[in-house]
Amino acid sequence: MTFIPVAAPVIGARELAYVTDAVRSGWVSSIGPYIERFEKGFAEYLGVSHAIAVSNGTVALHLALHALGIGAGDEVLVPDLTFVATVHAVLQTGATPVFVDVEPDTWCIDPVAVERALTPRTRVIIPVHLYGHPADMTALLNIAERHNLIVLEDAAEAHGAEVHGRRVGSLGRVSTFSFYGNKIITTGEGGMLTTNDAMLAERLRFLKDHGMSPERRYYHSELAFNYRMTNLQAALGLAQLEQIDDFIARKREIFNGYADVLKDVPGLQLNPERAGMKSVYWLISVVLGPECTLSRQDLAQALRVHEIDSRPFFIPMHQLPHLTQYRIVGRESDACPQSEYLSARGLSLPSGCTLDDATVTHVAEKVRQLITK
């Protein structure tokens, strides 16, 4: 067998046709029909009124925070276990991140710890739907409502994931997505903001394009950004969006393929799925409990010998050298034991929709042999 990657995109005839059409049309920058079609299609898919395409998921987060007026003196609650982009976007506004522990059965920000983390300076909660599983949005929206906070969903890893039948990215005040090459759908590099707030949507469009007046060309009234997506990227994105239901269904099949082989292995935990929620299994992962004699590093190394790629879980934000000065808050104390546990023991396995059933079974069997031997 040849090298098995963690996540390769599915790029087919439709992608090639749309991108070729976009190139041939000459609309290669950020004006063009694919931008509008991709934004409209994405908004419809989520059931929201507005979708605004941008250059990547990180600037989507930054633009949302900037547009909401978040900056120095404000505290923003983020999960301790996330990709660092969530935190970098907060820091780029001048605001202060607070690292909050995660829940063992969602791997996402813990609402109980969120309550403990609140101060008079708290302005925003950023739930990250980690590895494709929704955060507990019901509890988080309730806290936000009671304390007059903004909920910004970082849905970069969870296009199509659901909470009680509603898609993530449609639940908070504003939400962000990434279309990096390994995400649920890709534009190469790319991002999207979604909201039901018409005024906020207008402000996001204005700020992503150098703050140019919609009425008067080259008239700019404030410092702003070039965070635009290109028509070429949107052509790729539209082709991908038209197949998203197939991708998500395939992800679940792949997860079930792993679960068939691994669900009864002692000490091994697979991605959770809480009742009432639907994961999109962005990265299918195992967490090696204390019963496992094999370490996560040894498992990764042994898989590598068999040409099977894997990824360790993210490192807790509070352990990154440039982020050690920020407050950390858990359910019971000022510590993040769940985040540390998952981070030290979690390993993501090949999860891309390009994998066939035989490959999934092959990888799962290898993991089982290595863990139980």
Ligand X SMILES: *Cc1c(COP(=O)(O)O)cnc(C)c1O
Provide the binding-site residues for ligand X, judged by CB under 6 A: 56-58, 82-83, 85-86, 128, 154, 156-157, 178, 180, 191
Smallest gap from Cβ 252 to ligand X, in A, equals 20
Q: Which is nearer to ligand X, 110 or 157 (CB)?
A: 157
b/e 98-121 (16+ beta carbons within 10 angstroms → b):
bbbbbbeebbbbbbbbbeebbeee
Of 35, 25, 15, the C-alpha closest to 208 is 35
Q: Which is nearer to ligand X, 136 or 157 (CB)?
A: 157
- Contact in structure between 330 and 336 (CB atoms under 8 Å): yes
Per the listing, tokens 């070729």 go with 20
Smallest gap from Cβ 178 to ligand X, in A, equals 3
The residue number whose beta carbon is nearest to ligand X equals 57
Of 188, 240, 235, 180, the C-alpha closest to 57 is 180
3-state secondary structure of 7: coil
Q: Which is nearer to ligand X, 53 or 262 (CB)?
A: 53
Of 282, 273, 84, the C-alpha closest to 186 is 282
Smallest gap from Cβ 20 to ligand X, in A, equals 24
Smallest gap from Cβ 52 to ligand X, in A, equals 14
Smallest gap from Cβ 128 to ligand X, in A, equals 5
Smallest gap from Cβ 359 to ligand X, in A, equals 24
Q: Which is nearer to ligand X, 180 or 255 (CB)?
A: 180
Cα–Cα distances in angstroms (integers) from residue 366 to residues 64, 300, 355, in the given order:
43, 11, 15
- Cβ neighbour number for residue 294 with a 10 Å cutoff: 16
* Amino acid occupying residue 227: Y
Q: Which is nearer to ligand X, 262 or 314 (CB)?
A: 314
- Contact in structure between 96 and 236 (CB atoms under 8 Å): no
Q: Which is nearer to ligand X, 128 or 371 (CB)?
A: 128
Smallest gap from Cβ 227 to ligand X, in A, equals 11
Smallest gap from Cβ 129 to ligand X, in A, equals 8
Q: Which is nearer to ligand X, 58 or 269 (CB)?
A: 58
Q: What is the DSSP string of 202-247?
A: HHHHHHHBTTB-SSSTT-B-S---B-PPPHHHHHHHHHHHTTHHHH
Distance (Å, whole) CA 250 – CA 256: 10
